[in-house]
Amino acid sequence: MKKLFFLIMIVTLTLVSCSEEELVIEGNSDTDEVVIDDGNNNNSDGSVNDGNHNNYNCDNANSNEVAIVNEILNLVNDHRQSIGKSVLDFSCVATELAIEHTEYMIAQNDISHDGFQARFQELQQRLNAKSASENVASGYSSAQSVMDAWLASEGHRANIEGNFTHIGIAAIRNSQDKLYYTQLFYR
């Protein structure tokens, strides 16, 4: 019984979701268009135009685990398509914000939605975002395991299946090789 309680507490502590819908915060929350031309086939909204929505092609990959990010993107879009939803375009701007937040969580040695409102405001200012949501996690060793956990959680699943058009993703290892994740959705 103690082991089950401990396992439930770990899952509870390592998965958190947050959303912002027209300034109404839902779930566990603490929670002008700029033309970007960086030569990476990015659209003015910060998304990557790769034709199949599954290619990490941003300049900000230094600490990001690109293979894991690409796999998460594919898993998200495969899931959305399986339930009749449109695929999400990959956003370099949202990924930049996700990376910054993931690095912050690593420095804090804890997952959180600290600063979510500021990330949403930045998406509003830079990309004219109307709403945003965020999923965070840590300790999952693969894209598939973190996606399975998010999809098993009602709040996280709602974010993944939400009325969004774009996604930014970060997957970064701390010094002990533990992965921290942030998904940032917007429309």
Q: Is 0.85 surpassed by the pTM of this model?
A: no
pLDDT digits (tens, 9 = 90+) for 125-138: 999 999 999 999 99
Contacts of 169 (CB under 8 A, 6+ apart): 69, 72, 73, 90, 95, 98, 181, 182, 183, 184
pLDDT digits (tens, 9 = 90+) for 23-66: 222 222 222 222 222 233 344 444 444 333 556 667 756 678 99
Which stretches within 39-141 are classed as H helix? 66-82, 92-108, 116-127
pLDDT digits (tens, 9 = 90+) for 103-123: 999 999 999 999 999 999 999
